[in-house]
């Protein structure tokens, strides 16, 4: 069942599927990583696109430079 504001996502020509449940619809969230882990991995102030599986809530994170 699809919920409002969730959508299918295409990344580099490939349809995104959840690696946990196989779901194909996601909510999108864009953020900038400013936390302590970002500093540890030398990634402060990098932009990320997060896609949250509508079925199970798993978060797929992609670095968007």
Interval 10-33: pLDDT, tens:
999 999 999 999 999 999 987 766
- Return the closest-CA partner of residue 27 out of 9, 46, 13: 9
Contact at 8 Å (CB) between 25 and 63? no
Domain hosting 20: range is 10-63
Q: What is the pTM of this model?
A: 0.72
4 lies in a domain?
Answer: no
**Band (49; pLDDT cuts 50, 70, 90):** confident
Tokens of 22: 């196989």
5 lies in a domain?
Answer: no
Overall domain count for the chain: 1
In CATH, what number is assigned to the domain containing residue 17? 2.20.25
């Amino acid at each position: 069942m699809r919920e409002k504001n969730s959508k299918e996502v295409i990344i580099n020509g490939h349809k995104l599927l959840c690696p946990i449940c196989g779901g194909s619809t996601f909510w999108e969230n864009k953020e900038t990583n400013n936390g302590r882990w970002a500093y540890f991995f030398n990634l402060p102030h990098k932009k990320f696109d997060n896609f949250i599986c509508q079925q199970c809530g798993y978060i797929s994170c992609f670095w968007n430079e």
